[in-house]
Structure 1
Amino acid sequence: MLVLKRLDQTLSNLGYCSRREVRYLIKNKRLRIDGELATNAAQKVDPNAVSIDGQPLEHIGNILVMLHKPLGYVCSHDSSEGPRIYDLLPTIWQARNPQVVSIGRLDKETSGLILVTDQSALVQQLTSPKHHVDKVYVVTVDQVLNSDIIEQFAQGIALESETTPCLPATLEIVDPYTAKVTLNEGKYHQVRRMFAACGYHVTALHREKFGEYILGDLPIGEWRDLL
């Protein structure tokens, strides 16, 4: 059932403007509701019926997108840390309430699939260890992989400074320097640290799958709506 909200609240939550600025949009005859000029910022509206400068509102529902994160981008809202994944998405989304966030993170030197949403419940569902959501990574290392590492990952790698070992993970050797790893945890820099514990340095890391979502042929820096 659609819950009607005030016009100013609707536009503010979707990131179009502040609630105060809605009055100026009304005054300048830029807002319409069902084709008629809006006259009251407090009027409760169906966002599907609202238009600004003749254009309907976009992404009026929840957001869930898959983004192909390039190297060098951070999953942070702090622009001081470098280029942000949010800079690759519509600018208006950064002003939404609730705010859009990434589901888990990929570090600056990791590429691949990252999910972005404004649904806090979905973030919890896909990142909570108890839900065992698989993530698949393609990993390149600095030396030839020994087949013994398959069993080491299957038993659970003990990480430095961690009191308990990682949960068992699946490792497939693709070529002498490349492996595909499937795990369902999200410890800090986990994949890199797991390989380091086995004597390898990760030179490239790429996530190609997160739960049911597969990156496929999505171009680098592009995003796809999943809802």
Structure 2
Amino acid sequence: MTESTNTSRLNKRMAELGMCSRREADDWIARGWVRVNGQLAPMGLQVTPDARIEVDPKARGQQEQQVTIIMNKPMGYVSGQAEDGHQPAVTLVQAGSHWNGDATRLRFAPSQLRGLAPAGRLDIDSIGLLVLTQDGRIARQLIGEDSGMEKEYLVRVTYGDVAADVQKAFPPAQLARLRHGLSLDGQALKPAQVEWQNPEQLRFVLKEGKKRQIRRMCEQVGLKVVGLKRIRIGRVVLGNLPVGQWRYLGPQERF
């Protein structure tokens, strides 16, 4: 295939370059904020890899106003849309639950809720670090197809009738299977870091996020999860953020 025919849609190319999300690109194109090789770009334009893409400063200004929120999700809240009578975690994003230890100088405004969506899920019966963002670049970084972002969890388990000193009762060979050798939904899982944090609690570090992955992994080796808390995504840690409260991702913080 020659370079002249090796094209992709403009919105896809802009996302690949880390300029914005595809949805954001479509919005910018519709507003007339994007030029390709000096020409105003129409919707659906196909571009070559060497195309010169320029974006109006208005788009950058809009992007700078977008917020990303770090929340300590309590049990009983769903990550995304409301379901089965359970409230979505975004309903906790309000002035009264903004952590007073937030190091940023940002103040809550209702406009920050527009387009605010979870970048990855955390089950209703799990707690800890949940990221909600208006920024498509961050969403792609965390949950895009090519994302290999580390996510760290503390997982309290039982083994059959054993609830105390589970580490002593649990076979080392099964721990090795948790690290590498299990499959879910017909697909082999990527290698994981799994080690004992204390006699009743495992520490998991994953680079993928299948639905209820840790609980299902544990079931395959005879463990039952009785508590699950996410404490880190990439370089961003939950720290001492109280349960049910949230803070802004700081301008110098990077996943």
TM-score w.r.t. length of structure 2: 0.60
Q: Paired residue for 2:141, among 98, 110, 125?
A: 125
Q: Using a 3 Å threshold, how does the CA distance of structure 1 residues 164 and 81 change in structure 2: closer, same or farther?
A: same
Residues 42-75 of structure 1, C-alpha deviations (whole Å, 9 max, x = no match): xxxx9xxxxxxxxxxxx98011110000011111
How many Å separate the matches in 1 of 2:182 and 2:83?
Answer: 34
How many Å separate the matches in 2 of 1:112 and 1:180?
Answer: 14
Task: Give ranges in structure 1 of 5+ residues lacking alignment.
Answer: 1-45, 47-58
Segments of 4+ in structure 1 off by > 6 A? none
Query: Are positions 1:73 and 2:77 aligned together?
Result: yes
What is the identity percentage for the equivalent residue pairs of Structure 1 and Structure 2? Answer: 30
1:122-201 to structure 2, matched below 5 A, reads 122-143=138-159, 144-145=166-167, 146=170, 147-159=172-184, 162-201=185-224
Cα offset, 1:137, TM superposition: 0.5
Other structure's SS at 2:149 match: coil
Other structure's SS at 1:185 match: coil
Q: Using a 3 Å threshold, how does the CA distance of structure 1 residues 95 and 63 change in structure 2: closer, same or farther?
A: closer
Query: Are positions 1:107 and 2:123 aligned together?
Result: yes
Cα offset, 1:199, TM superposition: 1.0
1:200-215 to structure 2, matched below 5 A, reads 200-215=223-238
How many Å separate the matches in 1 of 2:111 and 2:221?
Answer: 41
Question: Number of residue pairs matched?
Answer: 166
Cα offset, 1:85, TM superposition: 0.8
1:80-91 to structure 2, matched below 5 A, reads 81-90=85-94
Residues 136-187 of structure 1, C-alpha deviations (whole Å, 9 max, x = no match): 000011222423333112223223xx22211010111122221000011010
Cα offset, 1:80, TM superposition: 5.1
Q: Using a 3 Å threshold, how does the CA distance of structure 1 residues 79 and 151 change in structure 2: closer, same or farther?
A: closer
Cα offset, 1:93, TM superposition: 4.7
Q: Using a 3 Å threshold, how does the CA distance of structure 1 residues 150 and 84 change in structure 2: closer, same or farther?
A: same
Residues 173-217 of structure 1, C-alpha deviations (whole Å, 9 max, x = no match): 122221000011010100100101111111111000011110010
Q: Check conservation: 2:178, 2:218, Cα contact below 8 A.
A: no
Other structure's SS at 2:188 match: coil
Cα offset, 1:119, TM superposition: 1.4
Q: Check conservation: 1:70, 1:220, Cα contact below 8 A.
A: yes
Cα offset, 1:78, TM superposition: 2.5
Q: Using a 3 Å threshold, how does the CA distance of structure 1 residues 211 and 226 change in structure 2: closer, same or farther?
A: same
Deviates more, 1:189-198 or 1:140-149: 140-149
Other structure's SS at 1:139 match: strand
Other structure's SS at 2:72 match: strand
Q: Check conservation: 2:71, 2:244, Cα contact below 8 A.
A: yes
Q: Using a 3 Å threshold, how does the CA distance of structure 1 residues 156 and 224 change in structure 2: closer, same or farther?
A: farther
**In structure 2, what residue type is equivalent to 1:156?**
G
Other structure's SS at 1:65 match: strand
Q: Check conservation: 2:153, 2:204, Cα contact below 8 A.
A: yes
**In structure 1, what residue type is equivalent to 2:75?**
L
